[in-house]
Structure 1
Amino acid sequence: MPALAIATVGYFGFHALNGEFGLVGRARIEHRVESLKLELETLRAERRELEMRVVLLRPESLDPDMIDERARQALNLVHPQEVAILRPSN
């Protein structure tokens, strides 16, 4: 009987430390939560930037600089007196 009790306590003790939701598993989960929070904040910032660009493209708030930028990009043109800086595409 004592051996069975020790085995049972040992089994549950082992899984309390090393199981998926044990102390070690909890540290892994908390680390994953932190990394996902950072990723979420990055995605939210990217979304805010895209929303601002969409607002600039609406007909009631067209920005002349934005129109000029898009036209030059689509037509692949620059003025003769401008300096073009070429960046590698993603």
Structure 2
Amino acid sequence: MQIVRHIRRAVRAIIPPTLFLGLSVYFGWNALHGEHGMHAYHTQLQLREQALQAQQDSKSEQIVWKRRISSLNERALDADMLDERSRAMLNLAKGGDIVIPYGPHEKLY
């Protein structure tokens, strides 16, 4: 009888701390590795930083494209400069233009 009493006393002394320790380990592991744990939070922060960087890149690209589009407005183009540049690119001249030929090693540009 006394052995049974010692076994019961030992079981009553061991089970509650073991259960408490098991619950503590379970909740601790979930706090770190669970679906809403610290590692998941760190991953979400990295994804947020990537999204903010992508947003900033897209805004800067949008500004560049808006500037390019606004320069295509007909009021933004100077007709004389456009005519001069197109003739230079096409290697053409008007009838009254004076043409000064350059040598083969003397380049204008």
TM range (shorter): 0.5 to 0.7
Report the 3-state secondary structure (helix = DSSP H, G, I; strand = E; otherwise coil) of the residue aligned with 2:90.
Answer: coil
What does 1:7-86 align with in structure 2 at a 5 Å threshold?
Answer: 7-59=22-74, 61-64=75-78, 78-80=89-91
RMSD value over aligned CA atoms?
2.6
Name structure 1 gaps, 5 residues minimum. 73-77, 82-90
Could you tell me which runs of 5 or more consecutive residues in structure 2 were left unpaired when the two chains were aligned: 1-15, 93-109
Question: Which AA in structure 2 matches 1:79?
Answer: L
Following superposition, which runs of at least 4 residues in structure 1 exceed 6 angstroms of deviation? Answer: none
Structure with max Cα Rg? 2
What is the total number of aligned residue pairs between the two structures?
70
TM-score normalised by structure 1 residue count: 0.58
- Identity across the alignment (%): 20
TM-score between the two structures when normalised by the length of structure 2: 0.50
How many angstroms does 1:37 deviate by?
1.8
If asked which structure has higher relative contact order (CA below 8 Å, sep 6+), I would say 1
